[in-house]
Amino acid sequence: MKIAVIGPGSMGAGLGRHLAAAGHEVRVGSRDAERAREKASEIGASFGGGYHEAAAEADALLLTIPWWGVDEVLGELGDAPSGAVLIDVTNPYKDDTFAELVEFSGSSGAEEIQRKVPGVRVVKAWNTVFAPVVASGPDFGGQAASVFVAGDDAEAKETVMRLARELGYDPVDAGPLSSARFIEPLAGLMVRMAYGLGRGPNQALKLLTR
């Protein structure tokens, strides 16, 4: 698949590196085209440039930017390929103190993104997985970290679940995009435990089923 990394920071570059290693054509976008080119060559991606160029012709967009950058960056993706899958990895923190999530009344960050870019198919995924886990891989002593996957388009959701499986995760179908209302606060709990309570980021959620 042609996958555009929209935001080449710890999550974007981390997932992008594994997706490229798995044989996908990864295109890196950044506000700074030179930085994107450097990051692209570092992670084995085939292209680096501005957000707009990276997204052009992509089958999937991996949105890995801070919440406060979303409006500006989505503006550059306005004419992203119609029907592309937008994998929303963001957590809607108010600011970089990461103390508070934006409270949406009857909505979520993912649903707001879908409303702003109606031509793409938004799927929430990976937002509860920490960047160091993404970097080192999802295996915890034989148990794969879960990725909660929520979206309204069945085919788009299956595409993201397949990508997660390819990278060794245990994808969990969490239902429609509105489930992001519950998955985003779950990431808030993980961040509080990792950084507020000192457990560190080398932990992941696993859904146990019987």
Ligand X SMILES: NC(=O)c1ccc[n+]([C@@H]2O[C@H](COP(=O)([O-])OP(=O)(O)OC[C@H]3O[C@@H](n4cnc5c(N)ncnc54)[C@H](OP(=O)(O)O)[C@@H]3O)[C@@H](O)[C@H]2O)c1
Binding residues for ligand X (CB under 6 A): 7-12, 30-32, 35, 64-69, 73, 89-91, 93, 127, 129-131
* Between 44 and 66, CB nearer to ligand X: 66
CB of 17 to ligand X, least distance (A): 13
Report the residue number whose CB is nearest to ligand X: 9
Q: How far is CA 53 from the centre of its chain?
A: 19
Q: Give the C-alpha separation, 114 to 51, whole Å.
A: 18
Q: Residue 58: name the closest of 98, 17, 6, 15 by CA.
A: 6
Q: Give the C-alpha separation, 22 to 166, whole Å.
A: 7
CB of 131 to ligand X, least distance (A): 4
Taking only Cα atoms into account, the Rg of the chain, rounded to an integer number of angstroms, comes to 16
CB of 32 to ligand X, least distance (A): 5
Q: Give the C-alpha separation, 55 to 137, whole Å.
A: 26
- Specify whether the CB–CB gap between 100 and 75 falls below 8 A: no
Q: Give the C-alpha separation, 164 to 167, whole Å.
A: 5
Q: How far is CA 115 from the centre of its chain?
A: 17
CB of 195 to ligand X, least distance (A): 10
* Between 44 and 69, CB nearer to ligand X: 69
* Between 78 and 82, CB nearer to ligand X: 78
* Between 44 and 52, CB nearer to ligand X: 52
CB of 129 to ligand X, least distance (A): 6
* Between 83 and 88, CB nearer to ligand X: 88
